[in-house]
């Protein structure tokens, strides 16, 4: 099984913001009054991306009970720079010189100053949504990552939704103890919504790619997985499903590394990168969905998409658990578990790796992938041969027969249960023996593990967040 190829991804995000955040947030334009988005380059399949934007637009229309980031009530608490004396950079002549390219990206250059405050240093990355730049905050004298959204309506609408999620998370967890990325500021600049984050390191995927897809050591897999589960459990406890968990959306706080020499099976020496600290943050809440909101039919990036999503059976928090299982496999082996771009082939891979899809799910789905309860799949076709040659039963991927490795695969297997109701919950996952050897200084929460009070993790939670 070969590592998948993905589009360029950038890796800077934020964790903390000033306590004077509300006072500092500003509009930097004389145009419409809209909010911002987040900072990371999106590298998802086209089918996932298009469904995601469609879903976000649907959610924007349906969320009547939620105040927009640009509501009058919110705006009156912020200084409207368009109604005050403009600084030199924002003079009429300067405003008229602000340009977008044909795709809606802001045209800028190193040294470009936005709203007399953010000086652009360099480009960190880009995606369909816009670009991310490193900027210097001229007021606070520090650098941060600033995501500049395209001057396109559908991306502005998506930005509003994510701002709302990030602000709700900040209300519940102002100190970012649950490892979710946090906004420092958001504003609008000539039709471009912008959001600022603290600079972080590479994503766990980018580090893996730069390391020639050499897997992470088991102790780092354990630490990263623990933090990811802990962070996503926080979302689930607050009636929120991330829906787009993947290695690109997990960033190291600091991706500084050391080079170590190892010997392969043929005793040939080669050098590998080892990240010095495996502390991570969870990013990209643009697809996050509250329990009471409309649930789009298709969510998640292809490789991490749960079977109930593919079969259009409806989804909830357990779809995040499936994604985490796929991510843990990838960190351990350096390869993608389900390397495909086709629904039928994806289901065939699942059956090859995990066994037959339950008859109940096959019978209930309205999709046409099954015939008399069995997957309609030609094993003799070229696609059939590809699946047979590149996939094998899950436990055969074990690299060693050590107890720790077997514990890891037991946890992965429980996360990859077909039936969402039978899938392990994240609260249960934190109690799994795989995490018994996690050092105390890596544990999180007031009880050092936050595993008390079983409440089905993904199904019985408080309503402390709502839109």
* This prediction's pTM: 0.78
The answer on pLDDT for 462 being more than 90 is no
Name the catalytic one among 185, 244, 284, 320.
Answer: 244
Contact 209, 8 (CB under 8 A): no
Which helix H or strand E contains 121, and what residues bound it? strand 118-126
pLDDT value at residue 160: 85
**Alpha helix (H) ranges present in 356-444?**
359-364, 382-390, 403-415, 426-430
Q: pLDDT, tens digit, for every residue of 69-124?
A: 433 333 333 333 333 333 444 444 455 589 999 999 999 999 999 989 999 999 98
Given this model, what pLDDT does residue 384 score?
Answer: 96
pLDDT score at 5: 47
Distance CA(113)–CA(199), nearest Å, equals: 19
**Measured distance between the N- and C-terminal CA atoms of the chain, rounded to whole angstroms:** 42
All domains in the chain, ordered by first residue: 100-197 (3.30.200.20), 202-441 (1.10.510.10)
19/10 Cα distance (integer angstroms) = 27
Picking from 23-27, 357-361, 397-401, 417-421, which range would have the lowest pLDDT averaged per residue?
A: 23-27
Question: Does the annotation count 410 as an active-site position?
Answer: no
Residue 322, Cβ density class (10 Å: 0-12 exposed, 13-18 middle, ≥19 buried): buried
Structure confidence by residue, pLDDT tens digits, 287-315: 999 999 999 999 999 999 999 999 999 99
Half-sphere exposure of 306 (CA within 13 A, CB side): 30
Tens of pLDDT along 405-434?
Answer: 999 999 999 999 999 999 999 999 999 999
User: Strand 130-137 vs strand 118-126: parallel, antiparallel, or unpaired?
Assistant: antiparallel
pLDDT over 80 (residue 16): no
CB 176 within 8 A of CB 16: yes
Quickly count helices (H) and strands (E) in the chain.
14, 14
Q: Closest Cα to residue 320, out of 234, 241, 238, 403?
A: 241
> What pLDDT score does 54 carry?
52
* Residue 147 annotated in ligand binding: yes
What pLDDT, on a 0 to 100 scale, did the predictor assign at position 253?
95
Q: Provide the pLDDT for residue 282.
A: 96
Given a contact cutoff of 8 angstroms between Cβ atoms, the answer to whether 235 and 242 are in contact is yes
What tens digit of pLDDT does each residue of 374-393 get?
999 999 999 999 999 999 99
* Cβ contact 14:39 at 8 Å: yes
Give residue 436's pLDDT band: very low, low, confident or very high (50, 70, 90): very high
What element of type H or E holds 36? none
Q: What pLDDT does residue 106 have?
A: 97
């Amino acid at each position: 099984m070969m590592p998948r190829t993905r589009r360029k991804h950038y890796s800077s995000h934020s964790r903390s913001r000033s306590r004077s955040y509300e006072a500092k947030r500003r509009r930097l334009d004389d145009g419409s009054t809209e909010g911002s988005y987040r900072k990371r380059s999106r590298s998802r399949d086209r089918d996932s991306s298009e469904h995601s934007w469609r879903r976000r637009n649907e959610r924007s229309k349906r969320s009547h009970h939620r105040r927009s980031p640009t509501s009058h009530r919110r705006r009156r608490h912020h200084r409207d720079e368009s109604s005050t004396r403009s600084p030199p950079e924002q003079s009429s002549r300067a405003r008229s010189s602000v340009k977008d390219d044909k795709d809606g990206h802001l045209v800028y250059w190193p040294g470009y100053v936005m709203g007399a405050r953010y000086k652009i240093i360099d480009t960190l990355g880009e995606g369909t949504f816009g670009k991310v730049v490193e900027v210097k905050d001229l007021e606070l004298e520090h650098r941060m990552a600033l995501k500049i959204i395209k001057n396109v309506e559908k991306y502005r609408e998506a930005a509003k939704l994510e701002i709302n999620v990030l602000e709700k998370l900040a209300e519940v967890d102002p100190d970012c103890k649950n490892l979710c990325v946090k906004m420092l500021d958001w504003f609008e600049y000539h039709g471009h919504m912008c959001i600022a984050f603290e600079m972080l390191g590479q994503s766990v995927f980018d580090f893996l790619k730069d390391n020639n897809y050499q897997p992470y050591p088991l102790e780092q897999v354990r630490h990263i997985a623990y933090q990811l589960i802990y962070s996503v459990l926080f979302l689930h406890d607050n009636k929120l499903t991330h829906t787009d968990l993947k290695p690109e959306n997990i960033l190291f706080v600091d991706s500084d590394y050391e080079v170590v020499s190892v010997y392969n099976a043929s005793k040939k020496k080669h050098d590998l990168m080892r990240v010095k600290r495996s502390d991570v943050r969870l990013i990209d809440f643009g697809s996050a969905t509250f329990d009471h909101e409309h649930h789009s039919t298709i969510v998640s990036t292809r490789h991490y998409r749960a079977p109930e999503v593919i079969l259009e059976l409806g989804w909830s928090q357990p779809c995040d658990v499936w994604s985490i299982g796929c991510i843990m496999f990838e960190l351990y082996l350096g390869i993608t578990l389900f390397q495909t771009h086709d629904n039928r082939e994806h289901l065939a891979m699942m059956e090859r790796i995990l066994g037959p899809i339950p008859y109940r799910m096959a019978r209930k789905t309205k999709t046409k992938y099954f015939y008399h309860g069995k997957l309609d799949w030609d094993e003799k076709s070229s696609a059939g041969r590809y699946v047979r040659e590149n996939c094998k039963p899950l436990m055969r991927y074990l690299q060693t027969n050590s107890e720790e490795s077997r514990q890891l695969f037991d946890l992965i297997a429980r996360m990859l249960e077909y039936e969402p109701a039978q899938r392990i919950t994240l609260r249960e996952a934190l109690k799994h023996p795989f995490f018994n050897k996690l050092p105390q200084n890596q544990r999180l929460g007031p009880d050092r593990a936050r595993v008390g009070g079983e409440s089905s993790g993904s199904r019985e939670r408080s309503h402390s967040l709502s839109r």
